[in-house]
Structure 1
């Protein structure tokens, strides 16, 4: 069964915890104070009634008259006091009626086997206890509200620092190498959030150094391979005509293309590329380039737009998207221009789940039905070139139709303003 998850802010969790602890402590102390005060009042009431019954006894034995509204052989006298009097003992008894002040009895045996008793209620004293209860309730509420306010204050400060750390970490993940999480959270207090920020900065630096080392190694290897591969391709041109020569030329050309792609990926990973901007009519530009690289594709210009972008890089993106559709998809191939949006769709099996979740990855072509051709560099290069243009590139699978047709859909969103650096918009991968 699915588990329900309730998401709430850290400040409210801290506030709730402090409020619960404050309420527990306030309630416990209130009960202790109430019970102690009540016990003290009851003991004092017993003492008062005992003094009264002794005074009434002395007065009765000397004058045969009664004080303090005392009674002889009161029929309402509790049985416990009758038993104590029968043993010749003086005793007190509390008769709690469940509401208000309890009734206090005191009895003492007198001459001729008779019992003298007095009783009464101390309403004024127990009214003080009610007032004390109200004060304790008000104090408990004040403690709880104060705890909530303190929790909000502490939780808000901690939550704000964590949100700043999360925002800075996202910028680091997007490739901003100048961001330091510890500097972003600020503050003079050095607590666990500061340690967390320092750990994130250290991890980011280590990953950045490792990725830079890998990029340099990849670029160096590809650069070193360029010369021998070029020589191999030149030598293949000198071979005599025939099927073996064609195979050698095809493999040499494929290796040269791979080396160039690896070099391009290395340059894009190094954020060293800059866009050379021109003003173009997007619909006309896309239609002309698509006819050159994929004459069989269907072109639809829903709404034209004038954009400021790098034509060479835009052509590279469109070419790679169409090449990926031709390798892994099925015709018909559709290219649609709608304002600043370019959509490329095929009618194959769609993008693999790994690509939709994690984005394009070099040297990985996805599922088995889309493997075996290519090196996974086409979409990686398209993604990097889109970042240079400040564009947003999304990947998703089309909804199946009644005829069972589906397919992979890549959408390029060009920015409203021209990019001023290696790109100002993140690459987003949107699964259906």
Structure 2
């Protein structure tokens, strides 16, 4: 930019100087021509010399090329200004012969030349058919001005470049620091420090990078935490399965041993049948949970009247249930899985609660149906309330032998989720389980 500015300025300054010098020379030439033509008292060359002698501050010379007069000395392509031709003082340089010849041939109009590197601009013009006036306008002031301009522009360019480099370094450091912070955080995250975060400052691309990294770190942390939770759940699941399978298997082994004795054969047969049925229920529940985990659960939906479904479930569990229904309690769902929810909730209320057990169906809202199952037992212990839907969670903390597998509520919750519903537990004069089902359901699909 400095070079381009210098070129533009130098050209403009040079053009202005040449134009000013040309105008001054044209004025001198016109006056000299007037004096040579209309003033008497000497030869045209003498008259022009007398006029130019009064012009102070101008360097000039005359060439009198009148036929018969001694011609000016010539060396190569230049006239040597000496002797009679050097009127007005010796010129600073020799005059190009082509310039003088061109002025003489033109018969008056001014001609100028500025040779490369010359310290003067030379103008020549004919004042009479044989007398040529030559003026020398020094370029020293112009060169000094251009040199000063060049130095100023060089200084400005140097300062701007230094400021640009300094600004670039500052900007690079401002960008480098957060990028290094993201790199260090990435290494820490790779080393297992899942709580690593990058501070976010501003709204530029680096800040967006920091926000993206923090979002990624949060997702990675959540995923790993979920995997750890799944791993702990699977370990507990295996341990609980082993525990629950060991009890009926041990009882069945003891019952089989008792079949060899007539006195205990009848009792052993009954025990063997009970434990076989218990083992079958446990295996069926385990298969159901494995289907949930594998995402291979199929929903075959159709309109289901929940009042009829809960009435059938109460007859199946063999208990007298207080059933109340309000509004339209029809939903679109899988009747077998909805029946499983109803049966498991009623069995849980009868096993761990106390009568009377009531079921309230509320279909007053257009988008969903709510089922409230309440008993009048001791309720769910506070420390188990948030874990009641986990697998193998029972009210008997010592895990004494019971008829249940500890999977009923977990299966009920998974079935509710498949239908897009919600199952929650609370205490209010006993345990209260509230099931909310959307009327539209999830449709006939495989939930993965």
TM class by smaller structure: 0.3 to 0.5
Q: TM-score, normalised by structure 1?
A: 0.45
Structure of higher RCO (CA pairs closer than 8 Å, 6+ residues apart): 1
Greater C-alpha Rg: 2
Name the structure where strand makes up a greater proportion of residues.
Answer: 2
Q: TM-score, normalised by structure 2?
A: 0.43
